[in-house]
Amino acid sequence: MSADGKRTAPGFAEVFHPVPGHRTQYEVIDQITFAIRAGVFAPGDRLPSLDELSALLGVSRSVVIEAVRSLSMAGVIATQRGNRGGLTVATSNIPVALLGLTANKFDKLPDILEARRAVEVQLALLCAQRATPDDFDAMELSVLRLVESRDADRLERRHWDHLFHYQMARAARSEVLAYMQHQILERLTVVLESYFREDEDPLAVESLHRETLDCLRTGDPELIMRAVERHLAPLELLVQQPSPADTPSRK
C-alpha cells in the first residue's frame, strides 16, 4: 500500500476513510482492525505513520495516538521509536475484548444473521464474477491454512475462517458491502464468543469453506447461493433452537 492509503493489490480502492465525530477513537481502532482482519496488512507489515493515519482518517494526531495505544496494549500492533520505527502489525488475531469496543451494538442475533445472509450472498455472487486467479489462490490458501490449524487455538482457527470471507469480499470489489460484512463478523464474534470457542465443529467448518470455494470457481449462481445457504445454516439453526429458559419443564 502506498502512503496515501491507495491499495496496490486487488481489492479496496482505499482502506481508510474520514471518521465521523462520534466515538472517533473507536472508529479509528475499527478501521485499523478492519485493514488487518481483511489481510490488507499482515503480521510484520508496517502501517501508515501517525501523521499519515491522522490525515487519512481526518482526525487529530492525539486521537490516533489513543487508538494506537489501545491496539498496542492489546498486542495487535507494535510501536517503535526512531528513524526505523513506526507502527508494525504484531498479529492478525484481534482479541474479542477489543472487538467489543468497536463492534456496532446490534444485540438481536436474528437481525444480525438476516443481514449477514443478504450481504454474504451478494458478495459471493460478485466474487464469482470479478475474482482473478490471484483472488482464488488467496482463498484456497485460507482454506488450506484452516485445515492445518484444526488443532490450533480458537483465535488461529477464527483468523483463517474469517480471512476467507474477507478475501471473498475483496474479490467482489464492493467496498460498502465489504465493510458491512466486517461489522457483521465482528458483532457475531462478540455475541457468539462461547459458540466459536466451544461448540463449533472444525471439520464441518473446513468442509463448508471448501464447498463454498469450489462453487465460487464454477461461477454458477444457483450452486453458489445453495453453498452460501449451507455455509450460513449452522449459526441460523443455532438461533432457531429454543433456549433452556424457553423450554417448558416437565411436571
164-211 pLDDT tens trace = 999 999 999 998 999 899 989 888 888 887 776 666 788 999 999 999
Mean pLDDT of the chain: 84
- pLDDT band at residue 4 under the 50/70/90 scheme: very low
Q: Are strands 77-80 and 86-89 parallel, antiparallel or unpaired?
A: antiparallel
Assigned CATH topology for domain 24-92: Arc Repressor Mutant, subunit A (1.10.10)
- pLDDT band at residue 244 under the 50/70/90 scheme: very low
Q: Provide mean pLDDT across the span 77-101.
A: 82
Please name the residues in contact with 36: beta carbons below 8 A apart, sequence gap of 6 or more.
Answer: 76, 89, 92, 94
pLDDT of 73 strictly over 50: yes
pLDDT of 21 strictly over 90: no
pLDDT of residue 183: 87
- Strands (E) in 57-112, as ranges, are 77-80, 86-89
The SS3 assignment for 130 reads helix
Q: Are 189 and 99 in contact (CB under 8 A)?
A: yes
SS3 content of the chain, % helix, strand, coil (to 5): 65, 5, 30
Helix (H) or strand (E) holding 198: none
Specify the CATH superfamily of domain 103-240: GntR ligand-binding domain-like (1.20.120.530)
Q: For the chain, give every residue range classified as CATH 1.10.10.10.
A: 24-92
Taking only the tens place, the pLDDT of each residue in 38-58 is 889 999 999 999 999 999 988
- Distance, in Å, from the CA atom of 125 to the CA atom of 180, rounded to the nearest integer, reads 16
Q: For the chain, give every residue range classified as CATH 1.20.120.530.
A: 103-240
